[in-house]
Amino acid sequence: MNTASAEGPGLLHRSGRWCARHAWRIVTLWVLLLAGLGAADHAWGGTFADSFSLPGTGAQTGADLIEAHTTGAGGTAAPLVLHTAGGTVAAHREAVAAAVAGLDRLPDVLSVADPLHTPGAVSPRGDTARLTVRFDGNPAGFDPSYLARVDAAVEPLRAEGVTVEYGEPLGQPASAGSADRVSEGIGLAVAVLVLLIGFGSVAAAGLPLLTAVLGLAVALGALGLLAGPFDFARASPTLAAMMGLGVGVDYALFLATRYRALLHAGAEPDEAVGRTVATSGRAVLVAAATVAMALGGLCASGVGFIGTLGIAAGLSVVVAAAASVTLTPALLGLLGRRVDRLHVRTPVAEPTGASDVWHRWALGVARRPWVSLTAGLLLLGILALPAASMRLGHVDAGAQSTARTDRRAYDLITEGFGPGANGPLTVVAQLDSGRISDPAGREDLAASLRRELTAVPGVASVTAPVTSADRALLLTTVTPATGPRDPATARLVHTLRDETVPHSLAGTGATGYVTGTAAAAQTFTDTLAATLPRIVGVVVAAAFLLLLTVFRSPLIALKAAVLNLFSIAAAYGVVVAVFQWGWGGALFGVSEPVPVESYVPMMMFAIVFGLSMDYEVFLLSRIREVWLDRRDNHLAVAAGIAATARVITCAALIMTSVFLAFLLSTNVAVKMLALGLGVSVVLDATVVRLLLVPASMYLFGRANWWLPERLDRLLPRLDPEGPAPASTTGPAPAPAREPGPEPDPVPTPVPLPGDRR
């Protein structure tokens, strides 16, 4: 029976109808919101820079001790690499001194270390030197115009033919600009093409794009404003744009398609808008809540960097959903019946007959559900195989394009000092009060520490330990024999941290820590790897409870969670094969195999799990509507697939194009996310939606809709509207219906042998 309330339209129905009738108020409010946030962002907005602070870890504690006990050790250090093609850097002593003085006068500079007066800063051949500058903030977030002042300061060196390259993190703003705007343009262009071909109507194609772009602009304005008081990673705006543009077009498209179907069935425009928001709008809110919840689950990692990425992406999803259920109804109200007036082909909406190709597909799956289920799972399993060999790590400047100055600086350091010089490790020994006042004891400890560190396999060199000015610390630098991305370097960090340093300081009263860029990156990777199972558990459990509450079916909620895990594993496998194994990585601008960036699997899980639920929610919402109206599982599954096939296919094409367009990004981690998300959307819209979901629902039959009475009483009811009534061909009981015209018809499937009713 239909569960629509006999008391009249519900809240969503009324709100949609109100937005349609007061369209100009809604449009004006969104325009004012955009202008206000844009102005506030310009006046008080912040910048985006990566911060990998990990309080409580040995790497962070060691860095904090160095800053507290060593003069000039605060801030963020960035190397400027000097290189001469012939001769030595020392031959340009006056130019080096002039550059050091010029850099020291720049704002935000705490200190500059003259390489000619710093031990170990000049390569053995003398043709390469590292000039280290310490900034009071992370230079990755500095305005690109700041680099013009750095260029001016090092001009005396370049005037004498000395090559100057900027290492990380200073080299990040100095490198080629982001391709995000190009990516967004490509995504929008593909969206226009898909919508025009898929639906024919210019207005129906333009409305989702307008809603998505306006919502994204509002979200980015809010994100920029939040970046003032809070630290957000450099990838935050890119991730927000990917998510906001993709789901924004999808959500508005689902509403516009349902509205046009209701118009074609004879509904009045205002009533059609109300019913659209009450049905497809409800599905949008459930889908957006699932995506936002999955992204919010990243905060459970306890890592601020990951949490801010989740917040940035979640913010864009929430704004996109808000725009879809307010701005889209307003624009539909303005268009009214003119929504199909301008068209490039005969406008089409949802299919309404058993002869539709998608309806016939659903019936074909019904005839062989075990074959369909096995084929789908086998395909996902094959794609997931490479994920078993996933190796996490940090993708540093050495994996970037040689067009970037930070990559060239990386290569010069490798040639001049060895690969390990790009990720030196600092061992910090915090002395007890007895050692602090005993010079002989400090010397013995320093000699013993250096001797044990030198004996560790994989160590290229160890500097003589030095005592801090207050004699509280012993500091020594360990240079690995391998580069930061090499698995051997990760093993060396673990050996030093867990075995060598504790053993060498045992019984001395001193406490040792291993810090430095490579140690911090490895600690970050270890922390995320340990946290990922908790994130998976939190997100899956929360999504299960939400779907259980909305669809009131334990089996449907469990099936959705399990199938999404399969699609996520397949997306992981593709990312590993392309980037870690190097199968086609050069096509995406990555010249050599690289480890999977440590935070990518966690981000991919949250995003893919949420987006997978998007299509699941839209499909299941239509299936459930028919089930509640007819109580026929086979009819419900076939009708749901037929009704949503065109819109989900178009939405998936658009979202895939948006994600894959971000492969143009200069950030390798963004490339990984773009490929993984694009692949996952394709798999969800094809393998999962066309094979696994219908096959499993056919096999489970009426058990799909089983809910124990006690659980039914415990669960809150998030369905105050009731489903939109679906008229069907053929005789059926006449349940109570909302006032107003009949909605779009539901196709009746051809009866199948052994049909379970």
β-strands 596-597, 392-393 pairing = parallel
pLDDT tens for 407-418 read: 899 999 999 999
**Which residues have C-beta within 8 Å of that of residue 594, sequence separation ≥ 6?**
393, 395, 399, 485, 579, 580, 585, 668
CA separation for the pair 701, 202 (Å, rounded)? 41
Above 90 in pLDDT, residue 159? yes
Which whole number is the average pLDDT over 223-233?
Answer: 86
What burial class does residue 711 get, using C-beta atoms within 10 Å of its C-beta: 0-12 exposed, 13-18 middle, 19+ buried? Answer: exposed
Give the per-residue pLDDT at 201.
Answer: 67
pLDDT at 553 > cutoff 70: yes
- Asked if residue 356 lies in contact with residue 747, where contact means CB atoms within 8 angstroms, the answer is yes
Q: Inform me whether the pLDDT recorded for 15 exceeds 70.
A: yes
Q: What is the band of 754 on the pLDDT scale with cuts at 50, 70, 90?
A: very low
**Helix residue ranges, H only, 336-473:** 357-367, 369-384, 405-417, 433-436, 439-454
pLDDT tier, 247 (very low <50, low <70, confident <90, very high otherwise): confident
CA distance 621 to 623: 5
What is the tens place of the pLDDT at every residue in 170-179?
Answer: 887 766 455 5
The overall average pLDDT reported for the chain is 83
Q: 611: pLDDT confidence band, cut at 50, 70 and 90? A: confident
CB atoms within 10 A of CB 716: 6
Which whole number is the average pLDDT over 483-512? 92
Query: In whole angstroms, how far apart are CA 182 and each of 235, 434, 651, 675, 679?
Result: 16, 62, 20, 17, 20
Of residues 548 and 175, the one with the higher pLDDT is 548
At residue 46, the pLDDT reads: 79
Q: Is the pLDDT score of 507 beyond 50?
A: yes
- Indicate the burial class of 85 (C-beta count within 10 angstroms; 0-12, 13-18, 19 or more): exposed
For the segment 351-382, what is each residue's pLDDT rounded down to a tens digit?
555 556 777 888 888 899 999 999 999 999 99
Q: 588 falls in which pLDDT band (50, 70, 90)?
A: confident
The sign of the CA dihedral 264, 269, 274, 276 is positive
Least trusted range by pLDDT, from 36-50, 453-467, 679-693: 36-50
Buried b (16+ CB within 10 A) or exposed e, 511-544: bbbbbbbbbbbbbbbbbbeebbeebbebbbebbb
Instruction: Supply the Cα-derived Rg of the chain in whole angstroms.
Output: 30
Q: Element (H or E) spanning 278, and its range?
A: none
Q: What is the pTM of this model?
A: 0.79
Q: What pLDDT score does 399 carry? A: 80
**304 has which bridge partners?**
none
Say how many C-beta atoms besides its own lie within 10 A of residue 583's C-beta. 14
Structure-token pair, residue 544: 């299960």
Give the 3-state secondary structure of 399-427: HCCCCCHHHHHHHHHHHHHCHHHHCCEEE
How far apart, in Å, are the Cα atoms of 253 and each of 249, 495, 684? 6, 54, 18
Q: Please tell me the least confidently modeled range out of 340-349, 388-397, 658-667, 728-737.
A: 728-737
Give the pLDDT confidence of 680-689 residue by residue, as tens digits.
Answer: 989 988 898 8
pLDDT at residue 293 is higher than 50: yes
Q: Which of 44-53, 147-156, 584-593, 733-742 has the lowest mean pLDDT?
A: 733-742
